[in-house]
């Protein structure tokens, strides 16, 4: 299963059986609103706090993934997920509601692909038949924790990004019909010495490049093997930095097959500055928009590289640099499998 030093190849090809995607009112105005299962018109979801609203979205995404399948909740062996909030409480409280064995993760905005990679690895090794894998975020909850409450009205620089409100979950299975997970490359921490929490795209770009280059090298692939190489939430700034780094490293990635979830979810004119971010960003865009394109036969192979900025309010206050990471998972239609 191990290919090279950081890459798993899944010979038993775990299947993404079903997915569930949930968004908020701002996401309903975006470019891919038709790819959501549920869109709420209220940021609060009639809850007492933004964190409880985030918990509810995670529960809804999990329930949707199970409801779309032919299995019962009791057949799911594990729930693997996480989020940005202190002690990943929205996810942990959702896990309590779901009543499933639970592995909680913190990998910031790269949590979507970390959870998918771990789920696929467990299933590939016969450790489970069904696993729920997902993540969530909430704009107002993240602003309150990492910056200022939205009521404060603080001004942001053009390099800042907009945290997505939503949740995405996938039901990963040992067998069945659906796109397959063929490999995963686990990223390393890359620290460029940047300390500005309002420029996460710039900070994460080098981590994305490092993981993509490692994945291609260890799997002995050219970038053209994939119809699309999809980063999580580099936004405009991080995307330009990463393209410069690819050029410098002589990696032949073209702008045509290199896209970013943070530049996919919203329309031009929505006030998101450098683009979208948040764990839900890559989860929703992947499990909704891009998997729909695979199911429609418009894509065959994609590499999803979710990027995470692993700082905390405390580390920022102490002027520490921002450690970043990126995890890559290859998803294929399976139409060319024997």
Domain spanning 2-173, CATH class: alpha beta
Write the CB contacts of 46 (distance below 8 Å, at least 6 apart in sequence).
none
Give tens-digit pLDDT for 46-81: 999 999 999 999 999 999 999 999 999 999 999 999
Q: What pLDDT, on a 0 to 100 scale, did the predictor assign at position 295?
A: 96
Q: Secondary structure of 38-93 in the HEC alphabet?
A: EECCCCCCCCCCHHHHHHHHHHHHHHHHHHHCCCCHHHCCEEEEECCCHHHHHHHH
Q: Where are the domains of the chain?
A: 2-173, 182-331
The two three-digit tokens of residue 272, written as one number: 């998101």
The two three-digit tokens of residue 135, written as one number: 């993540």
Question: Is 182-331 the same fold as 2-173?
Answer: yes
Q: What pLDDT, on a 0 to 100 scale, did the predictor assign at position 338?
A: 43
Bridging pattern class, strands 228-231 and 301-309:
parallel
Superfamily of domain 182-331: Stage V sporulation protein AD (3.40.47.40)
Write the CB contacts of 228 (distance below 8 Å, at least 6 apart in sequence).
257, 258, 259, 290, 299, 302, 303
Mean per-residue pLDDT, 249-265: 95
Pick left, alpha or beta for residue 44 (phi over 0 → left; psi -120 to 50 → alpha; otherwise beta).
alpha
Q: Is the pLDDT of residue 335 over 70?
A: no
Whole-structure pTM value:
0.95
Looking at per-residue pLDDT, the higher value among 186 and 151 belongs to: 186
Give tens-digit pLDDT for 78-100: 999 999 999 999 999 999 999 99
Q: Is the pLDDT of residue 1 over 90?
A: no
Tell me phi and psi for residue 221, to 5 degrees.
Answer: -120, 150
Q: Is the pLDDT of residue 153 over 80?
A: no
Closest CA to 330 of 221, 194, 176: 221
Q: Is the pLDDT of residue 117 over 90?
A: yes
Give tens-digit pLDDT for 269-310: 999 999 999 999 999 999 999 999 999 999 999 999 999 999
């Amino acid at each position: 299963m191990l290919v090279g030093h950081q890459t798993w190849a899944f010979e038993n090809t775990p299947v993404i059986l079903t997915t569930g995607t949930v968004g908020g009112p701002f996401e309903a105005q975006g470019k891919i609103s038709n790819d959501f299962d549920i869109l709420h018109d209220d940021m609060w979801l009639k809850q007492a706090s933004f964190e409880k609203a985030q918990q509810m979205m995670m529960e809804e995404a999990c329930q949707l993934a199970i409801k779309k399948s032919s299995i019962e909740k009791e057949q799911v062996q594990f729930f693997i997920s996480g989020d940005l909030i202190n002690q990943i409480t929205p996810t942990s409280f959702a896990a309590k509601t779901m009543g499933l064995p639970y592995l909680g993760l913190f990998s910031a905005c790269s949590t979507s692909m970390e959870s998918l990679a771990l789920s696929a690895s467990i299933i590939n090794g016969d450790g489970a038949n069904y696993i729920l894998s997902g993540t969530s975020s909430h704009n107002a909850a993240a602003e309150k924790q990492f910056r200022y409450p939205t009521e404060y009205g603080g001004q942001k620089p053009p390099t800042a990004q907009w945290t997505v409100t939503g949740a995405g979950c996938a039901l990963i299975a040992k067998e069945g019909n659906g796109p397959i997970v063929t490999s995963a490359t686990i990223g390393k921490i890359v620290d460029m010495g940047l300390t500005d929490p309002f420029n996460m795209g710039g900070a994460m770009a080098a981590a994305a490049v490092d993981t993509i280059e490692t994945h291609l090298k260890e799997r002995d692939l050219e970038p053209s093997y994939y119809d699309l190489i999809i980063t999580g939430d580099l936004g405009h700034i991080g995307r330009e930095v990463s393209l410069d780094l690819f050029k410098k490293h002589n990696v032949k990635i073209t702008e045509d097959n290199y896209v970013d979830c943070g530049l996919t979810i919203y329309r031009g004119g929505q006030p998101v500055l450098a683009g979208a971010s948040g764990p839900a960003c890559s989860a929703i865009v992947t499990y909704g928009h891009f998997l729909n394109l695979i199911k429609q036969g418009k894509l065959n192979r994609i590499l999803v590289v979710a990027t995470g900025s692993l700082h905390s309010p405390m580390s920022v206050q102490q002027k520490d640099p921002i450690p970043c990471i990126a995890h890559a998972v290859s998803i294929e239609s399976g139409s060319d499998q024997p």
